[in-house]
Amino acid sequence: METLSRSIAAVWPQLHLRSWILFAKQSSTANPQVVANRQLAVNDMSLHDIRRLMKRDPDGHGISALGYDGVLRTFDAERNVLDAVGLSPEQVREYYEGLPIPERFLTADGRNLSVKDMFYPNPEDIPRKPTEEDRAKVRAYNEDLRNSGVSCGVPSKSTDDAEPHPS
């Protein structure tokens, strides 16, 4: 019985944290108290776990972006903020893991922003929507890759059917 109690005691904080975050996620994220309590819960979480728990565009057309203010936001296709979490400097570095961190993010700390600032960011913290010209460039680039034989992990024909490379 004592071993079971220790096991439960060891996982209770994690279960409690997950339950609280799920409750906060389902509640109105614009509610200041819910956001403040959730912010306390995510301070020690990995970026991966934070991203998994954030609200997303139900139609699948949304994006997420880290603002210069250190807040990770999810947006719908029209760039309305769906969810926002202020990241610690360590979590900002985790966001850029393996990549050079832009100088402006070296001091970013989104943990102390107001709920209003998190959900109504400065225009520079809202990613711009791609123009039709941007989409055309991406389509042309993808077509060039396809024509040159480059695939994105999905071969156009089975590699089992391929001829051996002549030596």
Q: What is the pLDDT of residues 28-75, one digit of tens each?
A: 455 666 666 666 667 778 889 999 989 999 999 899 999 999 999 999
Query: pLDDT tens for residues 109-158?
Result: 999 899 999 999 999 999 999 999 999 999 999 999 989 887 765 555 54
- Show Cβ contacts of residue 50 under 8 Å, excluding neighbours closer than 6 positions: 42, 72, 85, 87, 91
Instruction: Looking at the chain, list the stretches that DSSP marks H as alpha helix, in order from N- to C-terminal side.
Output: 2-26, 32-42, 47-53, 89-95, 115-119, 132-147
Burial 73-93 (b: 16+ CB within 10 A, else e): bbbbeebebbbbbbbbeebbe
